Amino acid sequence: MGKIKFRLVWFDSLGAKSACTLVETPDVSVLIDPGAAVMQPSFPASLADKMFWLKEAREAIMRASKKCDVIVISHYHHDHYMDSEMEIYKGKLILAKNPNAYINDTQRMRAYEFYNNISKTFGKKSLDTLLRKREPKSYSDPYEELVIAKKRDYGDYAERKRELLSKGRKWFFKRVENWNSWELIPELKFENCEVRFVDGKTFRFGKTKIEFSKPFFHGIEYARVGWVISTVITYNGERFIHTSDLEGPTIEDQAEWVINKKPKFLILDGPSTYLIPFMLNLINLRRAIDNTCRIIRECKPELIIYDHHLPRDRKFKERVKKVYVTAKEEGVKVLTAAEYLGKTPVVLKA
């Protein structure tokens, strides 16, 4: 009693892409990121196995949804929310990533479709009838807020890094143009479902505090896949963090944010090593490893669930070996969801 409890509903190490977690305090139960997606073609298993695991994941998420009061959606990738199973949202308060800013075009389209389904299901009306006009707003370059990352010495890679940052900056301000051209998707409140947009906000349920980060890059600076929000749940002096897709974290300032929160329990996604060298280079892999080791040394959580993205690669433990060595030295438990549940990650036995 008087503690934070959590249940790992489904994660990549169990065979389908997901980071779904049920967190309970004496005040409120929260289901974070209720989505699942099939593993990539390169994953070492048959299509039949992949589809079986996806079916199991969706069923597990549906069951978990019956036990929660609040549903958190950190961003609009299908392995983090369900857009067709409206039953899981019935009677729930949805605390979600703002779909009107700090979002890429694809996720905005998905968010529109999702809230249109919510509106039709629970409000019996099209979302188009609820959209609002917006006044153009200026947005500062988010890279300028990365105080630690900006100071990083890239050595021989520095010139290439400057080129990538320049392209990313142009991409960002093009997104700003798009945000200002879209009509606003409003927060929604119907009899059996309520939606609040929560970037950077804090909510209280009795003695439980649920805090959301500002929008974080989904991976490296100006990651084209967009932004995510991380979730912090605090009760009775204990703190639980679900990072969502920081991919490492790759960015030093996002690791600093985790360290400053000092969680007892940390759900941390890892780098996408299965995408080396196509979408993840060794420099950013080393950043992610170093940042995770720093979290272990300076934060010393009681437990880190190190899953999502990472166990899609058969060699994941070898590629991030330094993380496991550091955890052993510091006496910190670092486990995949499968290992926490007493199982072997499917990628290691597929």
Q: Which tens digits make up the pLDDT trace of 205-226?
A: 999 999 999 999 999 999 999 9
Question: In this model, does residue 350 exceed pLDDT 80?
Answer: no
pLDDT of residue 279: 87
For residue 332, what is the DSSP state? -
Contacts of 156 (CB under 8 A, 6+ apart): none
Q: Which domains are seen in the chain, by residue range?
A: 5-349 (3.60.15.10)
β-partners of residue 24 are 5, 29
β-partners of residue 184 are 132
Q: Is 98 exposed, middle or buried (0-12, 13-18, 19+ CB in 10 A)?
A: buried
Count of CB atoms situated within 10 Å of the CB of 4: 20
Question: In this model, does residue 2 exceed pLDDT 70?
Answer: no
Q: Residue range 304-328: average pLDDT?
A: 97
Which ranges constitute the DSSP H helices of the chain?
47-65, 105-123, 147-150, 158-181, 252-261, 282-299, 316-319, 321-330, 337-340, 346-349
Could you tell me how far CA 334 lies from the centroid of its own chain? Answer: 18
Q: Is 274 helix (H, G, I), strand (E, B) or coil?
A: helix
For the chain, the average pLDDT equals 97
Query: What's this model's pTM, rounded to 2 decimal places?
Result: 0.96
Write the pLDDT tens digit of every residue in 63-111: 999 999 999 999 999 999 999 899 999 999 999 999 999 999 999 999 9
Q: Is 41 helix (H, G, I), strand (E, B) or coil?
A: coil
- Of 208, 206, 205, 202, nearest in space to 4 by CA: 208
Distance CA 81, CA 71 (A): 9
Write the pLDDT tens digit of every residue in 140-156: 999 999 999 999 999 99
Distance CA 265, CA 285 (A): 23
